[in-house]
Chain A
Amino acid sequence: MVDVLIGAQSVTKRFPGVLATNQVSIELKPGRILALLGENGAGKSTLVNMLFGMYRPDEGSVIIKDEVVNLQGPSDAIRRGIGMVHQHFQLVPPMSVVENIVLGAEPKKLGLVDLPEARKRVLELVTRFSLDVDPDALVEELPVGTQQRVEILKALYRNAEVLILDEPTAVLTPQETDHLLQVLRDLTTRGVGVVFITHKLREVLAIADDIVVLRNGQVVGTTTPSASSETALAEMMVGRSVLLRVDKTISQPGEVVLEVRNLEVDDDRSQRAVNNLSLKVRKGEILGIAGVEGNGQRELVEAITGLRASEAGEILISARAVTNTSPRKIASLGVGHIPEDREKHGVIGVYSVEENAMINRYHRKPFSLRGLLQRKAITSHAKEVVNEFDVRTPRLDTAVATLSGGNKQKLIVGREFSGEIKFLIAAQPTRGIDIGAIEFIHRSIVKKRDEGAAVLLVSAELDEIIGLADRIAVLFEGKIVATLDAAEADREQIGLLMAGVGVS
């Protein structure tokens, strides 16, 4: 009987200018769930990447099934029964679920891929672990939560006894999250061990057996859900007490800044995603868009910011028609945009922190004069953003791709907040961000509002919407089905509206 399924023994990993993990030890026993918590840049991803063989520890060792191993790479880890679900799924979208699962480890007959056999094996897995997936569906047509299940199946197909998940719930809807947690629980009853990283304390308390908290690359605490609480965990992570709710005054709405009239927008597959939608956001107020992801939020935001064409209707910003104009023109009206997909739209990974801190305004003074980039202005601006938003980076010329996920997000938020903003669109502004930084970003959004900006907040976190918004619009199937005053909004009621209950 194996005692330690996977573990780390005093592992240290250095990157240029950073000590990412410093003498960290953890261990996972069969059938248990280990949650890793910690601030952005604490070293969580680095640690699990070492367990998966993506990085080699500078000091210390990785243990798999009671044995010290020297992993040669991810394929080595997979051979030893480790599976990892990355935040960016490693799937081939136009291929079917079965094909994706067996890819690279296909059953063969006469040298050819034996698809019927593959399908049979996948179906077996699906039933054994009661993971609800249609094996013949094309991956690109599946919602994110289901794609993640395909990733899990992929690992199980390769006989994974350990499943490592790095922020698996960041992109999931609450329903999908519940489902995932259930799946993980079921897996542990079959002896699979789980290591998972999250910033959501509620999830940790709900399913972890053991909790390890990291700070600055070191283990600062080990606990269990029964011996802990959200406040205690938050404090352990950040090293100070954290305000878990937002303090704000009643809004003082002024004139209309954003007006959307009868807007129709299509999604990538030319299906109508935003359907005859109208809304207004006034100066000095935060309008929160609540809704299950995939109900048109992305298309709405992209249409307003000029990244996606509108099929019909009108968008006005400060009374100027901006329907189907360029992102540049819209931004020039004083619009800040925290994009939903930070890797895709938010940053250019190979560019430095400096360059990313001004990418939305590179063409304007003081960053550009007579067509030339002004390094001094760029550096000093980046310095301000990094200091104010506590972006943890070894240097200003560090490539953004090497920052931790949450620190990339903080950089984007800081950049968008640093200009003159009349209207702010914040899509999932705190996704992947630690609890201390969430507090700061929430306060910053409220501050922008108080300074007179209009704010459109889109979030999959109902708590975030209820905590921050002055008014709440519920989006369902591309339509706004209700607009409520936040003061009298009721969680249950919004939840029902989001699910389409009581919508005619």
Chain B
Amino acid sequence: MNKKLFRSCVTPVAAVALGLIIGAILIASQGSSPITAYQAMLVGGLRDSDALLRTFQKATPLIFGGLAVAFAFKAGLFNIGGQGQLLIGAVFAAGVGFGLDGLPMVIHLPLALIAGGLAAAIWGGIAGALKATSGAHEVIVTIMLNFVAGNLTDWLSSSPWKDNSGDRIIARTPPIEPSAEIPTWGALPVGFLLAILVAIMCWFVLERTTFGFQVKSVGFNKDAARYSGIRIGVITASTMAISGMLAGFGGAVESLGVDGRFEAGVNVGLGFEGITIALLARANPIAVIPAGLLVGLMQAGASRMQFKADVAPEIIDVIQALILFFVAAPTILRWILRFQNQTDEDLKLGVGWGSK
């Protein structure tokens, strides 16, 4: 068992290490010291409670996005629509957050979260339902829905839900009511705890429930799943809905816990990082937590790195891209590091990327 755990860690750990090494070379080539830079990054993400808070806050939507992609993977689906689902979740959570008042927190906050999750579930579910009924490929549909979601949320925040106080230039909703705000306990944002809880729930659903068994069966062998009486269409649609909901929670937590409102353009790109996280975690919901924390830490430390070592914060994006490259192409990694074939573990992630 431990050996297995160790083996499944090899690829991601090596990918991260290699990404950081190449990142160091790049930093050095710019005339800065990579040691100073990485030190500053760690300090910026870990030193005190402010730094930790930043890391946790950055990690939270990454974990949700990673869970969204990982969960869909299990059914052999590739959800590229995390961005759109996140925006939908963010705007509807904010909508409920500022639109209702006079509610106690125990009602208002969950209501806003659920609104965001539910709207995003529908958003993801559309792609799933289309796949189930007409065979439309979820990659294409979710990409297109990303554009729709982008425009829809732009419109909502610049027209019907626009904040008309102040200078009125920015397309954003009014601030949410305090009763819808996700609190922070010291350095610990409650949204982060929520992400961990949801990750554990995802693991539980996949490994312990009959539903999860069906999801994985569809992902591993669709024909055998059908033979066993599993309704592929129902599982496809509901998996995409769940995946959408997970990404939507990420958006909702951003609105309710970090930004305090929805603002067009603030979360752009965030939804795509879930793919890196899920790959780094090898689609394991528990492993999504450390993967999200790691990338969150790098992002949280980026500005201090710029300030202390005079390194452009974009280097973090480059490192992230390198890590993604190495986890997605383990053959290259294996070639570089010369370690032995460890076939089946890798193959699992490949399931379902094709056209079927």
| A binding-site residues for B, Cβ under 8 Å | 305, 307, 326-328, 331, 337, 339, 344-351, 355, 359-360, 362-363, 368, 371-373, 399, 401
Contacts and interface: CB of A to CB of B under 8 A. Distances in A.
B211 A371 contact: yes
B184 interface: no
B234 to A, nearest CB: 11
B209 A371 contact: yes
A46 to B, nearest CB: 16
Contacts of B230: 328
A350 B225 CA distance: 13
Contact of A347 (B208, B211, B213, B224): B224
B226 A373 contact: no
Contacts of A368: 210
Contact of B228 (A344, A359, A372): A359
Nearest to B210: A368
A348 B210 contact: no
Contact of A359 (B208, B211, B224, B231): B224
Interface stretch (B82-90, B141-149, B215-223, B248-256): B215-223
B229 A331 contact: yes
Given A371-B210, A372-B208, A373-B210, A348 B229 contact: no
Contacts of B229: 326-328, 331, 360, 363
Contacts of A328: 229-231
Interface in B183-237: 208-211, 213-214, 216-217, 220-221, 223-231
Contacts of A331: 229
Contact of B344 (A326, A360, A401): A401
B224 A345 contact: yes
Contacts of B334: none
Contacts of B210: 362-363, 368, 371-373
24 contacts: A307-B226, A307-B227, A326-B229, A327-B226, A327-B229, A328-B229, A339-B227, A344-B224, A345-B226, A345-B227, A347-B224, A348-B220, A348-B221, A348-B224, A349-B221, A350-B344, A350-B348, A359-B228, A360-B227, A360-B228, A362-B210, A372-B208, A372-B209, A373-B208
A346 B229 CA distance: 12
Contacts of A337: 227
A327 B228 CA distance: 7
A459 to B, nearest CB: 19
B197 to A, nearest CB: 19
Contacts of A399: 344
A129 to B, nearest CB: 34
Contact of A346 (B214, B224, B344): B224
Nearest to B228: A359
A76 to B, nearest CB: 15
Contacts of B214: 362
A359 B217 contact: yes
Q: Is the interface of B mostly helix, strand, loop or mixed?
A: helix
Contacts of B216: 351
A326 B211 contact: no
Contact of B217 (A327, A345, A346, A348): A348
A395 to B, nearest CB: 12
B230 to A, nearest CB: 8
Contacts of B221: 344, 347-349
Interface size class of B (residues with CB under 8 A): 20 to 34
Contacts of B225: 348
Nearest to B217: A348
Contacts of B211: 371
A399 B347 CA distance: 14
B208 A327 contact: no
Given A345-B224, A351-B220, A359-B224, 7 more contacts: A326-B231, A327-B229, A348-B217, A348-B221, A348-B224, A368-B210, A371-B211
A346 B221 CA distance: 10
A363 B229 CA distance: 10
B141 to A, nearest CB: 25
Contacts of A355: 213
A349 B229 CA distance: 17
A417 B22 CA distance: 57
Nearest to A306: B229
B223 A344 contact: yes
For the complex of A and B, list the 8 residue pairs with the smallest distance between their C-beta atoms, beginning with the closest: A328-B229, A345-B227, A368-B210, A348-B221, A359-B228, A344-B223, A327-B229, A348-B220
A327 B348 contact: no
Nearest to A351: B220
A339 B344 CA distance: 25
A305 B224 CA distance: 13
Contacts of A344: 221, 223-224
B56 to A, nearest CB: 32
A350 B224 CA distance: 12
Given A372-B210, A373-B210, A327 B227 contact: yes
B179 to A, nearest CB: 34
A368 B214 CA distance: 12
A331 B230 CA distance: 11
B196 to A, nearest CB: 22
Nearest to B211: A371
Contact of B213 (A326, A362, A401): A362
Nearest to B230: A328
Contacts of B344: 350, 399, 401
Contacts of A339: 227
A371 B206 CA distance: 12
B170 to A, nearest CB: 46
Nearest to B225: A348
Interface string B317-356: 0000000000000000000000000001000100000000
A188 B184 CA distance: 79
A348 B215 CA distance: 13
Question: Which one of B208, B213, B226 has the greatest number of beta carbons of chain A within 10 Å?
Answer: B213
A351 B213 CA distance: 10
A362 B225 CA distance: 11
Interface in B268-311: none
A363 B228 CA distance: 10
B242 to A, nearest CB: 15
A368 B230 CA distance: 14
A350 B220 contact: yes
Nearest to B207: A373
A360 B226 CA distance: 10
Nearest to B218: A348
Given A307-B227, A326-B229, A327-B229, A373 B220 contact: no
Nearest to B204: A372
Contacts of A359: 217, 224, 228
A371 B226 CA distance: 19
A401 B345 CA distance: 13
A399 B348 CA distance: 13
Contacts of B208: 372-373
B199 to A, nearest CB: 19
Contacts of B227: 305, 307, 327, 337, 339, 345-346, 360
Contacts of A347: 221, 224
A501 to B, nearest CB: 36
A401 B221 CA distance: 12
A60 to B, nearest CB: 19
A140 to B, nearest CB: 16
Contact of A362 (B220, B228, B231, B348): B228
Contacts of A327: 226-229
